[in-house]
């Protein structure tokens, strides 16, 4: 189905209506895909980094791990280890845009986590990460749930663990990186636009907000509007930084000063900075014993609640499959 220019503009506006924790070039690519500007230079730049091929290789690796984790939508089980993939752009829930950009729904990631928590034969979880980040919505709640996991989680970054993906990975008891992996891009991004003249059809759009809500749609062309947008992204960044600090057990000031300052950091440098624990291989992680203490144990407060929620999720999925 061909969309009109006005409809495409609405799609772009929807993308820009929410804050993102993502590598900036990937947000540009998502906007280009949404507008079907498949010849856009940004798509060439993203394709050139080989990331799409790496994601496909990671998907194949997950499929080859073992058997499907019963009750899960995308995870696998290898002996006592569940492998939960976090691939591509992270969206709050399944959507056409997510599917068209090779993304993953945060709701699916967490549903599979709850299934793994409830499965008696699963003793540990490997969160397999290769993602440029995604939408901020829901990440704070997900981070809290991962931090309270009743079973040990190892985040293995096979390609990039950027922004929203690092937000989630940092809650694991241990972060292991492929020697060519990169992590970081800690920060929040917002894009916006405003109509300066008539569109191609000669029509001009106008907005009128209620008198008591001048900041409902901040105008980025004014100092007040830019300041309002800046306050929003800074407030979300503070939540991001606090979660990373809690997950990595460091001070927030350390995250701000030593965890890349918004840049991506290569594996060995990330380990040296404390952003990850060590460099390794996926094969080694999957063959590890399930009872090993990584030295980053946490209390299991909330564990019983997590198990109960996981059992509900398992029963729900089983009922759906029967129907």
DSSP letter for each residue of 146-163: HHT-SS-EEEEEEEEEET
Q: Is residue 36 part of a domain?
A: no
Identify the three-state secondary structure at position 105: strand
Confidence of residue 96 (pLDDT cuts 50, 70, 90): very low
Looking at every residue in the chain, the average pLDDT score rounds to 78
State residue 66's pLDDT score: 74
Confidence of residue 54 (pLDDT cuts 50, 70, 90): low
Q: Is residue 175 part of a domain?
A: yes
Give tens-digit pLDDT for 86-95. 998 898 875 5
Range with the lowest mean pLDDT among 48-62, 68-82, 127-141, 170-184?
48-62
Whether 235 has a pLDDT exceeding 60, the answer reads: yes
Range with the lowest mean pLDDT among 129-138, 156-165, 192-201, 215-224?
192-201
Residue 115 is part of which domain span? 50-189+218-288+299-322
Whether 213 has a pLDDT exceeding 90, the answer reads: no
Identify the three-state secondary structure at position 84: strand
User: Would you give the DSSP letter of residue 4?
Assistant: P
Which one is predicted more confidently, 76 or 65?
76
Q: Is residue 213 part of a domain?
A: no
Identify the three-state secondary structure at position 81: strand
CATH label of the domain that carries residue 284: 3.90.226.10
Confidence of residue 286 (pLDDT cuts 50, 70, 90): confident
Average pLDDT over residues 202-228: 77
Average pLDDT over residues 21-37: 65
Number of domains the chain contains: 1
Range with the lowest mean pLDDT among 1-15, 144-158, 281-295?
1-15
Q: Is residue 101 part of a domain?
A: yes
User: Would you give the DSSP letter of residue 137?
Assistant: T
The dihedral region occupied by 144, where left means phi > 0, alpha psi between -120 and 50, and beta the remainder, is: alpha
State residue 33's pLDDT score: 60
C-alpha count within 13 angstroms, C-beta hemisphere, residue 163: 28
Order of strands, sheet of 104-105, starting from the edge strand that comes earlier in the sequence: 20-22, 133-135, 90-91, 104-105
- Pull the structure tokens for residue 315: 């029963």
Strand partners, 21: 134
């Amino acid at each position: 189905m061909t969309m009109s220019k006005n409809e495409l503009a609405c799609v772009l506006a929807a993308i820009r209506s929410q804050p993102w924790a993502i590598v900036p070039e990937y947000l540009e690519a998502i906007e280009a895909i949404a507008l079907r500007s498949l010849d856009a230079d940004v798509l060439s730049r993203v394709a050139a980094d080989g990331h799409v091929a790496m994601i496909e290789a990671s998907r194949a690796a997950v499929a080859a791990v073992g058997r499907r984790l019963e009750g899960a939508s995308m995870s696998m089980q290898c002996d006592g280890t569940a492998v939960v993939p976090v691939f591509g752009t992270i969206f709050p829930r399944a959507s056409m845009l997510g599917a068209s950009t090779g993304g993953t729904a945060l709701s699916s990631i967490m549903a599979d986590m709850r299934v793994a928590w409830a499965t008696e034969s699963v003793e540990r979880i490997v969160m397999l990460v290769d993602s440029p980040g995604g939408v901020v919505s829901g990440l704070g709640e997900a981070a809290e749930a991962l931090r309270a996991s009743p079973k040990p989680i190892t985040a293995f970054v096979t390609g990039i663990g950027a922004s929203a993906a690092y937000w989630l990975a940092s809650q694991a008891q241990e972060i292991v990186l492929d020697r060519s992996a990169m992590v970081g891009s800690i920060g929040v991004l917002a894009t916006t636009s405003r109509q300066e003249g008539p569109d191609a059809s000669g029509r001009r759009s106008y907005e009128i907000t209620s008198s008591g809500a001048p900041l409902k749609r901040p105008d980025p062309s004014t100092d007040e509007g830019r300041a309002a947008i800046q306050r929003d992204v800074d407030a979300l960044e503070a939540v991001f930084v606090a979660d990373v600090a809690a997950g990595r057990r460091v001070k927030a000031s350390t995250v701000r000063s030593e965890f890349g300052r918004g840049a991506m950091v290569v594996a060995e440098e990330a380990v040296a900075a404390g952003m990850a624990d060590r460099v390794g291989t996926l094969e080694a992680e999957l063959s590890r014993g399930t009872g090993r203490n990584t030295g980053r144990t946490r209390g299991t407060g909330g564990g019983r609640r997590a198990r109960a929620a996981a059992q509900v999720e398992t029963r729900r999925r089983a009922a759906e499959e029967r129907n």
